Amino acid sequence: KDVQKEREPHVYLSKEEVKEKIQSYNSSVTDKLKMTLNANGIYTGFIKVQMELCRPITVQSSQSQARCAPSSTETAFYLPDGCVNTLHISSTNTVREVIEALLKKFFVADNPAKFALYKRCHKEDQVYTCKLSDREHPLYLRLVAGPKTEMLSFVLREHETGEVMWEAFSIPELQNFLRILDKEENDQLQILKNRYAAYRGKLEEALRGVLKPG
């Protein structure tokens, strides 16, 4: 169930409170992805982000990215549904920075403004998903919720259709999208043709059996 982002006050914790929460967090971790508190009060840790992308993404090879190659080296494709990625971040990193880091990690050339980070949590036996604002801090949310992804998880999605910043798409990207849609349409059309050809063959075979002199 998608809901509007609730206005949740950011509780500023003292250094001692942060230390206690991190100790409690680390004692509950089962996948060795613990948090570390630095002397300056900033803490680091890991978050897992599930990719739920409906539209194709544009990926650039690491070699072409290093030498700023033209868009001809970019490829658009659909990311497998449910793909989960792990990021190591700090308590100062914002949602916008997390999105940018996630895209950079996988050489995604798309504009980060096309994407939004959501949190998914359980409340009263229901699962709620709501979009996070760009200035929120995912690691703080992870610390407060604890390490269990059943209580809180992060999801990367595109902005809703009405929120899409179409000006953020380049002409090659839009052309790639059209090519992918054309291919999907042709594939589905061929599947339908094969299905009806098989039906027609069975009907004609049945008719020949009925009309056969006997």
What distances in angstroms separate CA 9 from CA 6, 122, 142, 143, one per listed residue? 9, 19, 15, 15
Token pair, residue 52, equals 């739920």
Give the pLDDT of residue 44: 96
Kindly report, residue by residue over 90-113, the tens digit of the pLDDT.
999 999 999 999 988 878 888 888
Sign, Cα dihedral of 110, 170, 158, 116: positive
Kindly report, residue by residue over 50-100, the tens digit of the pLDDT.
988 887 788 876 544 444 444 456 677 777 777 899 999 999 999 999 999
Q: Are 152 and 130 in contact (CB under 8 A)?
A: no
**Which positions ≥6 away from 6 have C-beta within 8 Å?**
130
Amino acid identity at 202: K
The β-bridge partners of 121 are 128, 152
Cβ neighbours around 119 below 10 Å, total: 20
